[in-house]
Amino acid sequence: MAKLSPKEIILVVNGSRDSSIERILMHKSPIITSYVYAFPLGQDVWRSIGAREANGDVWLFLSASSVIAASDLQPFVTACYQGLDISLRKTETSAYLSTRNEEDMDTVTLAKAYLNHMLDQREKFTSMIDLPIAITREAAIQIGIHHLLVPPLAHAIAVNKKLRVGQSHRVKEEKRPLKDNRSSVRREERMNMRLGDHLEAVHYVNQMKSDPSPYNDHS
């Protein structure tokens, strides 16, 4: 991350059971600000916390569960400085469809495709839930920083407000193994939360089509 020469690095650690806190204490830096919570906050609550504290013009959101080279992160930030409001991961849509059918897709993937269809988005499998993503400060304010904790809803609001949302880069990542014997339970919980987030986004889209007045305060 330091190779990107960021103005600031904001770390949000919640309910960690590994050595994250010890590692943070070992790497002291004037540009690093850490927020540590002893309990899990929820799937994406950390995004909203980090966004409220950020001061930069472009924010890059990363997950601690993946290791991604700086060369694969820079294009996300660059795309925002060059005109995008939200810069998403590129997906192998054609390859994905040629090797899979609907029965093979998991429910979250289908939810992404359905939401993008409702939003009339050409790339059906792109999503703000898939990190890394970059977003401008101005776009986050227009969406509503508190809505960043529900990425599909934030995506829907961004498209509705005609913000410039696009793909910027395809990344290679190394997943860090989960050191938790409840990993299968956690995966099911995460899937259910993701589906709930998409349902909230779908409700927003339907509401905007029928009566947008209750949502006029999203900005």
Tell me the pLDDT tens digit for each residue of 158-201.
999 999 999 988 887 766 655 554 456 577 888 899 999 999 99
What CA–CA distance (Å, rounded) separates 175 from 169?
18
Between residues 217 and 201, the one the model is more confident about: 201
pLDDT band at 41 (very low <50, low <70, confident <90, very high): confident
What CA–CA distance (Å, rounded) separates 140 from 213?
21
On the question of pLDDT at 147 being above 90, the answer is yes
| Mean pLDDT (the chain, rounded) | 85
For the chain, where are the E strands, in sequence order? 9-14, 32-37, 58-61, 66-68, 86-89, 133-136, 165-169, 173-175
Query: pLDDT digit string (tens) for 88-116?
Result: 998 765 445 544 444 445 889 999 999 99
What CA–CA distance (Å, rounded) separates 39 from 52?
20
Give Cα 119 distance to the centre of its chain.
17
Between residues 105 and 7, the one the model is more confident about: 7
Indicate the pTM of the whole model.
Answer: 0.85
